[in-house]
């Protein structure tokens, strides 16, 4: 949009339609004076302006988008609302952010051009934006399409490494990811959920899964993969223990040649780790017991060889013998 300004011509306090970004370029002429309130004080500024213009607020809750309300920056400062000031010269750009109230005036004749734009971060602000219902030509943007696109992009980015896992898990259960769309895979080749590598939203499917449903499916696939890896590890360890000596040697050489793999810290692995620790200490105790038993047998045999044959030697308590003698 092209603007021609003149001495003391001003623009009232407002935020951009649908809380969009805006960029303003001053082609030529006198500078502009800008006043801006940070987006973090949007709610506080909105409440203040509504209290200052109650009649307009009752007529239209979004009356500030009419760009007719003028308030001195000093009034905002009196209510602890920060106001930043900036002078916009010829050949410079001025950018405003979503939910940031701004106003200003011109120092003389000039020509400026402004346009709204959006970034990925704006989608969350656009969803929260309200629009004026009393004017038929007000700017309205359907945010549902943007939200679906972002959700698709995030899910695709998150699920790409797991597509093989999902496919394998689905094949084992004789199910297909096409069940999300209620269509057969061959009848919908471009469906995002029928064709794992597709990127196009299907128009045939009756409904789309929510982000929560997809995350739950991914979590189940991850858990199944971890359980399968742990089961495989346990089977290999059991085979290593029960196999022949040649198999154990091959297994040992293979483990030395392959890089170390960090298996998931699963409850089963913790359980087997604790069992291994207990078995280690039990083996040590059994070994020590056998050693002590062997030493005791050796000492017993040695005593038998040195003691003379005859009646058993009675060992009595020395203190008890003294008491008998005194009596």
Average pLDDT for residues 159-179, to the nearest whole number? 52
Average pLDDT for residues 99-116, to the nearest whole number? 95
Question: Does residue 267 fall inside a structural domain?
Answer: no
Q: Look at residue 93 and tell me whether its pLDDT is greater than 90.
A: yes
Domain boundary among 211, 238, 265: 238
Co-location of 117 and 187 in the same domain? no
Co-location of 155 and 109 in the same domain? no
Question: Does residue 252 fall inside a structural domain?
Answer: no
- 124 vs 208: which has the higher pLDDT: 124
Question: Does residue 26 fall inside a structural domain?
Answer: yes
pLDDT of residue 135: 73
Distances from the Cα of 307 to the Cα of 183, 301, 312, 316, angstroms: 95, 10, 10, 18
pLDDT of residue 31: 96
Q: How far apart are CA 9 and CA 127, in angstroms?
A: 33
Distances from the Cα of 103 to the Cα of 23, 34, 153, angstroms: 14, 6, 37
Q: Look at residue 183 and tell me whether its pLDDT is greater than 60.
A: no
Instruction: State the CATH number of the domain containing residue 99.
Output: 2.60.120.650
Least confident of 40-54, 225-239, 257-271: 257-271
Average pLDDT for residues 231-253, to the nearest whole number? 62
C-alpha angle 100-106-107 in degrees, rounded to nearest 5: 135
Residue ranges in the chain assigned as alpha helix (H): 42-52, 54-59, 73-78, 122-128, 143-159, 163-172, 211-242, 245-257, 267-306, 318-326
Q: Look at residue 281 and tell me whether its pLDDT is greater than 60.
A: yes
Distances from the Cα of 162 to the Cα of 46, 158, 220, 230, 322, angstroms: 46, 8, 11, 18, 88
Q: Which two tokens stand for residue 100?
A: 């940031």
Q: Look at residue 189 and tell me whether its pLDDT is greater than 50.
A: no
Q: Look at residue 323 and tell me whether its pLDDT is greater than 90.
A: no
Q: How far apart are CA 159 and CA 32, in angstroms?
A: 49
Domain boundary among 195, 221, 238: 238
Least confident of 94-98, 220-224, 256-260, 272-276: 256-260
pLDDT of residue 201: 43
Residues 36 and 98 sit within 8 Å (Cβ to Cβ): no
3-state secondary structure of 82: coil
pLDDT of residue 181: 44
Co-location of 158 and 105 in the same domain? no
Q: In what order do the strands lie in the sheet with 32-36?
A: 10-14, 102-106, 32-36, 84-88
User: pLDDT-derived band of residue 164, with 50, 70 and 90 as boundaries?
Assistant: low
In a 13 Å sphere around the CA of 127, the CA atoms on its Cβ side amount to: 10
pLDDT of residue 193: 44
Sign of CA dihedral 151, 157, 160, 166: negative
Structural domain span for residue 225? 145-238
Co-location of 97 and 13 in the same domain? yes
Number of domains in the chain: 2
Co-location of 110 and 158 in the same domain? no
Co-location of 26 and 88 in the same domain? yes
Distances from the Cα of 228 to the Cα of 171, 220, 225, 258, angstroms: 15, 12, 5, 20
Co-location of 113 and 165 in the same domain? no
Domain boundary among 238, 257, 276: 238
Residue 103, strand partner residues: 35
pLDDT of residue 205: 46
Least confident of 118-132, 171-185, 253-267, 268-282: 171-185
Co-location of 14 and 72 in the same domain? yes
Average pLDDT for residues 239-251, to the nearest whole number? 59
Co-location of 87 and 6 in the same domain? yes
pLDDT of residue 55: 87
Q: In what order do the strands lie in the sheet with 93-96?
A: 2-5, 110-117, 21-29, 93-96
Mean of per-residue pLDDT scores for the chain? 74
Share of the chain above pLDDT 70, in %: 61
Average pLDDT for residues 144-161, to the nearest whole number? 63
Co-location of 154 and 108 in the same domain? no
């Amino acid at each position: 949009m092209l603007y021609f300004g003149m001495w003391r011509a001003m623009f009232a306090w407002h935020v951009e339609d649908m809380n969009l970004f805006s960029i303003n370029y001053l082609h030529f002429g006198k500078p502009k004076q800008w006043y801006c309130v940070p987006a973090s004080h949007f709610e506080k500024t909105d409440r203040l302006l509504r209290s200052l213009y109650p009649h307009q607020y009752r007529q239209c809750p979004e009356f500030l988008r009419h760009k007719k309300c003028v308030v001195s920056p000093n009034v905002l400062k009196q209510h602890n609302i920060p106001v930043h000031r900036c002078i916009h010269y010829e050949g410079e750009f001025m950018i405003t952010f979503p939910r940031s109230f701004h106003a200003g005036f011109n120092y003389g004749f000039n020509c400026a051009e402004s346009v709204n734009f959006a970034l990925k971060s704006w989608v969350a602000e656009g969803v929260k934006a309200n629009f004026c219902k009393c004017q038929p030509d007000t700017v309205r943007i359907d945010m549902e399409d943007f939200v679906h696109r972002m959700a698709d992009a995030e899910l695709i980015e998150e699920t790409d490494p797991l597509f093989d896992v999902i496919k394998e898990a689905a094949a084992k259960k004789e199910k297909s990811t096409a069940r999300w769309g209620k269509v057969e895979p061959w009848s919908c080749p471009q469906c995002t959920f029928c064709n794992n590598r597709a990127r196009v939203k299907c128009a045939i499917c009756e409904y789309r899964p929510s982000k929560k449903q997809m995350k739950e499916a991914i979590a189940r696939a991850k858990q199944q993969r971890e359980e399968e890896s742990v089961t495989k590890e346990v089977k290999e360890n059991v085979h290593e223990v029960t196999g022949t000596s040649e198999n154990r040697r091959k297994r040992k050489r293979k483990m030395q040649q392959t890089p170390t793999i960090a298996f998931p810290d699963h409850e089963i692995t913790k359980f087997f780790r604790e069992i291994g620790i207990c078995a280690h200490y039990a083996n040590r105790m059994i070994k020590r017991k056998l050693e002590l038993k062997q030493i005791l047998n050796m000492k017993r045999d040695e005593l038998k060889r040195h003691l003379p044959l005859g009646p058993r030697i009675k060992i009595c308590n020395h203190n008890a013998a003294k008491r008998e003698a005194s009596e």
